[in-house]
Structure 1
Amino acid sequence: MSLSKPLSNPVSEPRSISRFADLPTLFAAITASPDFIRAFGDPIPLTIVESGEQAGEHDMPEPLAVQAECGAVIAAIFDLFTGTRLEPLAPDIAWGFVNSFHFVANKLERREERFTDEIRRMMREPDLSEVYNSELEEKQLRVQSTTEQREAIEVMRDYAAGMYRAQSGWAWSPAKGSKASPVNTATQVAVQDYLRARGLAERERYVPQGPIVVASGHAVWHDWQPIWDRLDAIHARIPHMMLVTTAQRRGFDAIVASWAGARGVPMVAYTLPGGGRSAPYKRNRKMVELRPVEAVLGEGSGIQDNLYQLMRKADVPIHAFRKADQAPAQSVGRPGAQHRRRAA
């Protein structure tokens, strides 16, 4: 058994240790990353912890302690289940833990926007009363306090997501919505946000720039190494590439997402536009309209065949993989396990 712990940020190569009991020693030997120091090390003097409370001085958790615990919880889940009949469930449990941070961060972001809208309304109708000034100062502090909370939770989410990737071999991605953060390895962006924000400078962090490479394949796919090798070759030729996938959390798309996480390549998960039987075919047409420079496609259903034909008609160079060319599943092993052994 081995546990992997990313040191200063989730992008770095994980460091292996032999036993879960070694984690405290490892944590004692590291320093908090700049992201944790920024989010936890210099809090604003006064904060409002919850709506309705008076402003007060409240300490932040110690940066290194937060960083260590975020990694330790994810590692503990995998350590507890390893070698038991529950081992296949460890990635799902750990994924939910990371997703809880994402859920809370989104909730805080919505609260931030609501407070900001209230301030804008007050600024449009200013007056010189003491009550007005007091209320405006309180709302400003509530916005600052909420922003500080959100940024702290986002840093914890991103670090836990890096630990999840190191343990499972798969890149973490949210169940819905966007995850855009300056420390992400593979920024997963819901395509609705991507298209809506493309022309808005104030939301530039949601818009990865670069030549687009489309990657899509069957939900049942186990041979990850040839896909990683081909993507590595494309990345060597197109270092500023951006991946667009068909948003499946299993199989071919999940292998592609794991590669993006390991290589720090931005990725857009193109979800289905609406419902109905025609939705996958509409998505295929929209992906071609993005004008990709190359496509990496795995053999699949009629929907996959349709995407292949559309790419050919648009003269997009295609790297095609057939299911029959895969190595036997028992000789290839689970992608996450193979990745952990190679990283170790």
Structure 2
Amino acid sequence: MTHHIRSVRDFSEIADLISLETAQPSQAFATAFTETVDGFSITAGGEASDAPMPDAREVQLATELLVRTIFDVLRDTRLEVVADRIAWGVVHSLHKVAGQLDGEADKAAVRIKELLRDADGSEVMMGELEEAQLLCQSLDEARDAVACMRDHAAGTYHAETGRPWSSPRGSLVSSKRTATVIAAADFLAARRRRRTDAHAPEGPVVIFSGGQQWEDHVSLSERLDAIRARVPSMVLATTAQSKGCDAVAAAWAARTGTPLIAFTLNRALGQRAGFARNEQLLALKPVEAVVCEGSGLQSHLARMVRAAGVPAHFFRLADQRVAR
């Protein structure tokens, strides 16, 4: 058995430590670290391995300790101020690897389509098809495992800093495990359905936008709580800014488990990028909107929301309730 060493600062942490060491893996880890294919190969033309998946509990503990230890060893030192940056990088490294595996799986899926299109029923062709399918399934399996680690590391980062971890680009979603599919055509169809579900959450959309200078997180969180009470299956769409109003909304979404769609700017559109993003938000046909005073982009969105007749909640900078 692997033994994990962790410092205990006071007696109140002993119970937590015992609980951590004896806990069963979460359902997410138990699922993500289940073998879904006989053999494993993430290298085209490489030898298939029959090695087992890592122990789910061991990986869950190691992932959490990886992030927490950074904060533990730097706490009360002059480097404490950069602990969150280092921990952010740890989560991002897992996110990057998951993305690389996902891209490689996409290429493998394209190869399966090509082989299906040209299939002639020969033994050689069937062998190539089986190899391509094993590669794609193995890459999916590896990607899901690493993405599970990434999500847990991000959750630990959130617990330590009070801020949700966010990627500089792309989505932060983990696909759901499906049963192993034998037929190549069925496998591709299941993969398409799974990716659609992961990247396009269903539910009534609430759009949210505000400036980067904002201190009153309480009022915004209370209003979002009230909307969610009326629309429990809501999906929140924001303008993806890393501070201010959008950061408050992202933290609220992480705390409540609300799906969040982050609309970043398309820089190729130049000065029109922000207005195009507002149009994208309205195209989602939102059931409600929250707009906080910020720049001309928020004023533009407010006018569009009113014109479209979307029920809206407007917040002004002057009305902030800031704790003293």
Q: TM-score category by the smaller chain? A: 0.7 to 0.9
SS of structure 1 residue aligned to 2:270: coil
1:88 CA drift (Å): 4.0
Corresponding residue number in structure 2 for 1:288 = 282
Corresponding residue number in structure 2 for 1:55 = 48
Letter of the aligned partner of 1:260 in structure 2? Answer: A
Corresponding residue number in structure 2 for 1:336 = none
Cα pair 1:43 1:60 within 8 Å, conserved: no
2: CA distance between counterparts of 1:298 and 1:45?
Answer: 53
The question of 1:214 aligning with 2:207 is answered: yes
SS of structure 2 residue aligned to 1:164: helix
- Per-residue CA deviations over 1:76-98 (Å, capped at 9, x if unaligned) read 22223333444443333222222
Corresponding residue number in structure 2 for 1:154 = 147
The question of 1:323 aligning with 2:279 is answered: no
The question of 1:233 aligning with 2:226 is answered: yes
Cα pair 1:43 1:59 within 8 Å, conserved: no
Corresponding residue number in structure 2 for 1:192 = none
- Per-residue CA deviations over 1:1-35 (Å, capped at 9, x if unaligned) read xxxxxxxxxxxxxxxx955x877533222101122
Corresponding residue number in structure 1 for 2:248 = 255
Corresponding residue number in structure 2 for 1:342 = none
1: CA distance between counterparts of 2:122 and 2:313?
Answer: 68
Residues 116/285 of structure 1: CA separation in 2 closer, same or farther (3 Å cut): closer
1:139 CA drift (Å): 2.3
SS of structure 1 residue aligned to 2:301: helix
Corresponding residue number in structure 2 for 1:277 = 271
Letter of the aligned partner of 1:289 in structure 2? Answer: A
1:245 CA drift (Å): 0.6
Q: CA RMSD in A?
A: 2.5
- Select between 232-241 and 221-230 the one with higher mean Cα deviation: 221-230
Cα pair 1:212 1:243 within 8 Å, conserved: yes
- Select between 130-139 and 293-302 the one with higher mean Cα deviation: 130-139
Unaligned runs of 5+ in 1: 1-16, 184-199, 332-344
Letter of the aligned partner of 1:219 in structure 2? Answer: Q
1:163 CA drift (Å): 1.5
1:297 CA drift (Å): 1.9
SS of structure 2 residue aligned to 1:275: helix
- Per-residue CA deviations over 1:248-306 (Å, capped at 9, x if unaligned) read 01111011011011111111111123331121122223322333222222221222222
- Per-residue CA deviations over 1:83-134 (Å, capped at 9, x if unaligned) read 3444443333222222222211121112112122222222333345544343
SS of structure 2 residue aligned to 1:296: strand
Letter of the aligned partner of 1:156 in structure 2? Answer: M
Residues 242/130 of structure 1: CA separation in 2 closer, same or farther (3 Å cut): closer
The question of 1:46 aligning with 2:68 is answered: no
Letter of the aligned partner of 2:163 in structure 1? Answer: W
Please point out which of 209, 216, 225 is paired with 1:223.
216
Please point out which of 115, 131, 155 is paired with 1:122.
115
Unaligned runs of 5+ in 2: 1-10, 177-191
2: CA distance between counterparts of 1:115 and 1:76?
Answer: 37
Letter of the aligned partner of 1:296 in structure 2? Answer: V
Please point out which of 303, 306, 317 is paired with 1:309.
303
2: CA distance between counterparts of 1:263 and 1:78?
Answer: 25
**Number of corresponding residues:** 297
Letter of the aligned partner of 1:109 in structure 2? Answer: D
2: CA distance between counterparts of 1:286 and 1:166?
Answer: 32
Please point out which of 169, 172, 180 is paired with 1:179.
172
Letter of the aligned partner of 2:169 in structure 1? Answer: K
- Select between 109-118 and 136-145 the one with higher mean Cα deviation: 136-145
The question of 1:297 aligning with 2:321 is answered: no
Task: Normalising by structure 2, report the TM-score.
Answer: 0.82
2: CA distance between counterparts of 1:177 and 1:65?
Answer: 29
1: CA distance between counterparts of 2:106 and 2:158?
Answer: 31
Corresponding residue number in structure 2 for 1:100 = 93
1:42 CA drift (Å): 3.5
Please point out which of 67, 75, 79 is paired with 2:68.
75
2: CA distance between counterparts of 1:108 and 1:35?
Answer: 19
Cα pair 1:23 1:72 within 8 Å, conserved: no
Corresponding residue number in structure 1 for 2:181 = none
SS of structure 1 residue aligned to 2:277: helix
1:233 CA drift (Å): 0.9
SS of structure 1 residue aligned to 2:237: strand
Cα pair 1:242 1:265 within 8 Å, conserved: yes
Cα pair 2:144 2:174 within 8 Å, conserved: no
% same residue: 40
Letter of the aligned partner of 2:269 in structure 1? Answer: G
- Per-residue CA deviations over 1:187-235 (Å, capped at 9, x if unaligned) read xxxxxxxxxxxxx856233222222211111112232122111111111
Cα pair 2:37 2:134 within 8 Å, conserved: no
1:41 CA drift (Å): 4.0
1: CA distance between counterparts of 2:223 and 2:114?
Answer: 53
